[in-house]
Amino acid sequence: MKSSELDESSKFFENRYDDQSCSHEWLSCEEAASILRVTSNALRIMVYRGHVRAFKIRNRLRFRKADCLALFKQKGA
């Protein structure tokens, strides 16, 4: 490989998600729903309505554990 090709290929991975650089613990839809004590479908509706913050990672909905715990405390459940 030429050095310019190597530089171009390394740029491709500059914005990838790296577990070590991020202190957030990510939850799946089912895990977040169990913390909030709702169904996964109800959680998706809450995301659509803007009540819960969700992130798309590799075409999947993911939730921050801290956000879910804060919402759980806010609900007073």
Q: Which phi and psi (to 5°) does residue 73 adopt?
A: -65, -35
Order of strands across the sheet that contains 60-64: 26-27, 60-64, 55-57
Nearest to 33 by CA among 8, 11, 61: 61
Between helices 29-36 and 65-75, what is the axis angle to 10°?
Answer: 20
pLDDT of the residue at 42: 96
Asked whether 61 and 22 are in contact (CB, 8 A), the reply is: no
- Angle of helix 40-49 relative to helix 29-36, nearest 10 degrees, comes to 90
pLDDT digit string, tens, across residues 15-27 = 444 444 455 799 9
Which CATH number, 3.30.460, 1.10.600, 1.10.1660, 1.10.3470, labels domain 25-77?
1.10.1660
pTM for the model:
0.64
**Each residue of 27-69: pLDDT tens digit?**
999 999 999 999 999 999 999 999 899 999 888 999 999 999 9
